[in-house]
Amino acid sequence: LQTGMETFGAKITQATEGAKQLHVGTTEFDSGFTEWMTGYTTLNTGITTLASGISQESSGLMKLQGGLSSLAAGSNELATRLNEAAEKTSNLQNNDSTTTMFAQPIELVESDLSKVPNYGTGIAPYFLSLALFVGGIMAANILPLGRRELLKVTGTVHFINKLGLVYVVGLIQTLIVDLVVLLGFKLTVASVPLFILSSIIVSLTFMTFILMLIILLGNLGKLLAVTLLVFQLATCGGTFPGELEYPMLAKIGGFLPMAHSLKGFQEVVSLGGWSNLVTQVLILLIYLLLALIVGWISSHIQHKEPSAVLID
């Protein structure tokens, strides 16, 4: 009996392990059955989609057949119409004017705005503007244009003295540049007097603009003048069309003096558009007047209380 009970206990233990394995197997079977149900659902959906696609394909084939029939009918009609056109056009007189009408239905007419004999003439307005602005910067670095601390004069007198000095330099540099391009490089312009007058206005505008910056900011104004020169060269449209530039920079550059000096020189050198030249000159004169006012006010404020000691 004792031996039998021991054997019974061992079998009970084996039965427990078997029950656990049966539980695990049942769980796996349940999971597999769930996956089978999911796959069956997917299969059913795929079969339904396949049936729908076959139906659509059948409908598309019918439409394609109808389109081919329409194409065949259209081809027949086209052939018929071409035959009719051939019969009608055979009665027309075949001469040079008729052939030209069919061969060249559009006639291109070219018209030149102006005659520019060489590249130098085309680029001259750009380099003239550059030369006059660079001349103003060089004069600003050579001439004593800054604020004089212990000078016994009013701001107005000081500003007029400096303005007269830069204007003399501006007139001299303008005459030199004009003589070089007209007599040295044989530049052909639409009007020599207007060319010289435009050059003088451009030079005086640049000189006044640079003087205003120096009176306002001192040496920093000289640096700003050089920066503006570089910015204007890149945005005024002298080397390539403004449409190729960054739109925002092109708009800003269009409000700076060099853009208007370039357009003015283009008119007086080759284009001959006098109304546009007057517009550009008036804009430059407005720049000049604004620079005069700002420079005078700044000089007046800086020298509001002149020193009693005369130096220099």
**Residue (of 91, 296, 272, 119) closest to 198 by Cα position:** 272
- Pick 199 or 103 by higher pLDDT: 199
Average confidence (pLDDT) over 54-83: 83
Minimum mean pLDDT among 37-46, 105-114, 211-220: which range?
105-114
Q: What is the pLDDT of residues 19-29, one digit of tens each?
A: 778 778 778 87
Q: At what angle do helices 119-142 and 219-235 cross, to 10 degrees?
A: 170
The mean pLDDT value of the chain amounts to 81
Q: Report CA-CA distances (Å) from 128 to 21, 70, 213.
A: 100, 70, 22
Residue 174 makes CB contacts below 8 A (sequence gap 6+) with: 132, 196, 199, 200, 202, 203
pLDDT at 154 over 70: yes
Average confidence (pLDDT) over 155-175: 89
DSSP per-residue letters across 139-200: HHHHS--S--TT--S-HHHHHHHHHHHHHHHHHHHHHHHHHIIIIIS----S-HHHHHHHHH
d(CA 162, CA 212): 10
Q: What is the pLDDT of residues 89-117, one digit of tens each?
A: 666 666 666 666 666 667 777 776 667 76
Q: Where are the domains of the chain?
A: 2-103, 121-302
pLDDT in the model for residue 69: 83
Average confidence (pLDDT) over 193-200: 92
pLDDT in the model for residue 311: 41
First to last CA, the chain: 138
d(CA 122, CA 239): 10
Is the entire prediction scored with pTM above 0.75? no
pLDDT at 306 over 60: no
Minimum mean pLDDT among 101-110, 245-254, 268-277: which range?
101-110
